């Protein structure tokens, strides 16, 4: 099933750094398929900076100890997202996207979330499964055909030079 091109996409990122990196093929495929769309990330504060140098990087909404459901809901509603990817499988992010008026919500039908999703996928029955494939299936359900790519972290020239200088300094 393909959808009309979104103009503003919210991706609810996984909690763990490794899982977040495994989501990069999905994000890059969305960026390539819908280059006019602005891609925003909803993520834990400790993931700050991980994707800043990516060409698809837009606004980041941080979840911290101070974040409340109400404040996040208000921010999402203000942004008017027309597509949201739910990478975590918990109920709370799905409720947040409904409350934040995200028009189309794609995720796995799990943990009571099925009625909250506009594009719900069955949870994989085959275990174990690779998280990179787990995330890519969400994009494929919307018609993305270019998800089969390597994980990638982008590093600006300035950051690469700073790393080289640090390595040289300490031998």
Read off the pLDDT of residues 68-84 as tens digits, 9 standing for 90 and up: 999 999 999 999 999 99
Radius of gyration of the chain measured on its C-alpha atoms = 17
Mean pLDDT of 142-160: 90
Read off the pLDDT of residues 5-14 as tens digits, 9 standing for 90 and up: 999 999 999 9
pTM, two decimals, is 0.92
Residues 6+ apart with CB under 8 A from 32: 146
Read off the pLDDT of residues 34-74 as tens digits, 9 standing for 90 and up: 999 999 999 999 998 899 989 898 999 999 999 999 999 99
CA–CA separation, 23 and 7 (whole Å): 20
CA–CA separation, 26 and 137 (whole Å): 9
């Amino acid at each position: 099933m393909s959808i009309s091109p979104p103009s503003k996409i919210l991706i609810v990122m996984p909690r763990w750094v490794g899982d977040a990196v495994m989501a990069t093929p999905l994000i890059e495929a969305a960026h390539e398929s819908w280059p006019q769309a602005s891609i925003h990330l909803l993520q834990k504060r400790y993931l700050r900076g991980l994707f800043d140098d990516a060409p698809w990087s837009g606004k980041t909404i941080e979840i911290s100890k101070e974040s409340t459901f109400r404040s996040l809901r208000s921010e999402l509603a203000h942004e008017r997202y027309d597509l949201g990817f739910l990478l975590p499988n918990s109920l709370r992010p799905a409720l947040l996207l409904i409350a934040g008026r995200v028009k189309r919500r794609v995720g796995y039908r799990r943990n009571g979330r099925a009625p909250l999703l506009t594009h719900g996928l069955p949870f994989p029955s085959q275990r174990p499964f690779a998280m990179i494939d787990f995330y890519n299936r969400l994009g494929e359900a919307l018609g993305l055909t270019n998800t089969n790519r390597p994980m990638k972290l982008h590093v600006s020239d300035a950051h690469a030079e700073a790393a080289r200088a640090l390595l040289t300094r300490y031998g």
